[in-house]
């Protein structure tokens, strides 16, 4: 049975930080506001509804140009959801996925010209001879929307690894011909080193054209030994990418270990530190490496959490229905079982709110719609809609 719509009314802002638990580490932030920003509460009324509970391991939700939703399911299928018709049957036709652990079909986004091309881009764990890789593919949705056609492989983040974890992976289009793809460090101690190797596709954010080719102005395009698609390095497991609606800057949400989840403003050629610097600890509570949080030549996160909410997919709010949310960043939390709203002003996080913390769900991905709604999918199979109004 679906949860009835709930009317939620906010109260005044200027609240204590939403996080009041003791941090795992004794590390101190590099600058004021880098963690535990002031709390805030939405003033405008909004409704929360569960639209379906019938998804099977959803991993991504995206909005089509006509307002309908596409949703990926890890075993290798997708669904379409509309307010009029509800949830479609599973649609198949992707490339084979390595469905194991954190692997499977991952992100799914429409091409910017979807209305004419019918193309969808997807990231996935691809099975190969020596293990698996994070890969990027492309497929076309049939005219009757009952099948997928012409699936093709565009890119593989080599080397292959025997691991079922830390694939990343999100896709973000900047324009019709440019996209970003994030990857993870593949969750082994011995694979962490690849995050600091610009010849590897592991632990990176990659920039390419819509066919998977490097762009001529990528930062390492002329460096011998570099993977030419590499845009930034030193990442642990980026499961969130979002383009700011005004500045067009790229923001990334990165899972830390025990503490140390990060939001980063991604700049070309920059090194974001993992595993050399981090605000997190090993799961044994031991320091990571030498226990450093800062090093010359490595970027500081815009914001970090300790303890860890295990941040995942994220999106900026672009609607006009709730003005106080304009250009705010909404982020799904897995271990935290809530959605985070961050207000970012002049390059700093100035407020944080927790939403849907009473639902007991692992929020995997977020998609904001032009009509002012925000959609969330959860590991437990729910699709939520948060919409403005009385």
pLDDT in tens, 324-351: 999 999 999 999 999 999 999 999 999 9
What's the whole-number mean pLDDT along residues 97-113? 98
Q: How far is CA 286 from the centre of its chain?
A: 27
Instruction: Report whether CATH 2.120.10.30 matches the domain 8-388.
Output: yes
Of 301, 294, 289, 188, give the one whose Cα is nearest residue 240. Answer: 301
Are 353 and 324 spatial neighbours (Cβ–Cβ below 8 Å)? Answer: no
To the nearest whole number, what is the mean pLDDT of the chain? 96
Question: What is the predicted pLDDT for the residue at 213?
Answer: 99
Q: How confident is the model over 293-299, as a mean pLDDT?
A: 98
Residue 75 carries which DSSP code? T
For residues 111-124, give the mean pLDDT: 98
Shortest CA distance to 266 belongs to which of 354, 159, 174, 328?
Answer: 174
Instruction: Write down the pLDDT at residue 11.
Output: 42
The model's pLDDT over 215-272, given as tens digits with 9 standing for 90+, comes to 999 999 999 999 999 999 999 999 999 999 999 999 999 999 999 999 999 999 999 9
Q: Kindly state the average pLDDT of the residues 113-129.
A: 98
DSSP H helical ranges for 193-349: none
Percent of the chain whose pLDDT exceeds 70: 96
Sheet with 86-87: list strands edge to edge: 58-63, 69-73, 77-82, 86-87
3-class secondary-structure state, position 191: helix
- Which pLDDT score is estimated for 389? 86
Residues tagged active-site: 166
Size of the chain in residues? 390
Q: Is pLDDT above 80 for 8?
A: no
* pLDDT-derived band at 80, boundaries 50, 70, 90: very high
Note the pLDDT of residue 6.
46
The reported pLDDT for the residue numbered 9 is 45
Predicted model pTM? 0.95
Q: pLDDT band for position 12 (50/70/90)?
A: very low
Residue identified by tokens 């990176």 is 204
Distance CA(242)–CA(230), nearest Å, equals 18
Query: In this predicted structure, what is the pLDDT of residue 72?
Result: 99
Q: Is the pLDDT of residue 7 over 80?
A: no
Token pair listed for 31: 């600058």
pLDDT band at residue 156, thresholds of 50, 70 and 90?
Answer: very high
Query: pLDDT tens for residues 159-197?
Result: 999 999 999 999 999 999 999 999 999 999 999 999 999
């Amino acid at each position: 049975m679906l949860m009835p719509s709930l009317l939620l009314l906010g109260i005044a802002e200027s609240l204590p930080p939403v996080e009041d638990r003791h941090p795992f580490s004794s590390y101190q932030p590099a600058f004021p506001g880098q963690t535990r920003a002031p709390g805030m509460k939405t003033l405008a009324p909004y409704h929360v509804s569960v639209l379906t509970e019938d998804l099977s391991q959803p991993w991504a939700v995206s909005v089509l140009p006509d307002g309908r939703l596409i949703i990926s399911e890890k075993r290798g299928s997708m669904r379409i959801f509309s307010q009029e018709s509800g949830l479609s049957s599973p649609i198949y036709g992707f490339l084979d996925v390595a469905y194991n652990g954190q692997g499977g079909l991952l992100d799914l986004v429409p091409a910017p010209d979807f209305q004419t091309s019918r193309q969808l881009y997807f990231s996935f764990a691809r099975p190969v001879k020596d293990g698996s890789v994070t890969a990027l593919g492309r497929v076309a949705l049939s005219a009757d929307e009952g099948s997928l056609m012409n699936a093709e492989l565009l890119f593989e983040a080599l080397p292959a690894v025997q691991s079922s974890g830390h694939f990343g992976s999100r896709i973000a289009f900047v324009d019709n011909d440019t996209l970003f793809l994030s990857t993870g460090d593949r969750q082994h101690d011995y694979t962490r080193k690849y995050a600091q190797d610009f010849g590897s596709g592991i632990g990176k954010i990659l920039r390419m054209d819509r066919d998977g080719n490097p762009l001529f102005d990528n930062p390492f395009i002329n460096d011998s030994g570099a993977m030419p698609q590499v845009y930034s390095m030193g990442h642990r497991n980026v499961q969130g990418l979002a383009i700011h609606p005004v500045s067009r800057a790229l923001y990334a949400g990165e899972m830390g270990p025990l503490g140390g989840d990060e939001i980063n403003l991604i700049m070309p050629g920059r090194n974001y530190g993992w595993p050399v610097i981090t605000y997190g600890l090993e799961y044994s509570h031991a320091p990571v490496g030498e226990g450093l949080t800062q090093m010359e030549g490595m970027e500081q996160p815009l914001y970090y959490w300790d303890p860890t909410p295990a941040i995942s997919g994220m999106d900026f709010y672009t609607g006009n229905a709730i003005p106080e949310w304009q250009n705010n960043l909404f982020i799904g939390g897995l271990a935290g079982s809530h959605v985070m709203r961050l207000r970012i002003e002049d390059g700093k996080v100035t407020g944080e709110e927790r939403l849907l913390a009473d639902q007991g769900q692992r929020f995997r991905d977020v998609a904001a719609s032009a009509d002012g709604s925000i959609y969330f999918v959860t590991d437990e199979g729910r699709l939520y809609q948060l919409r403005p109004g009385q």
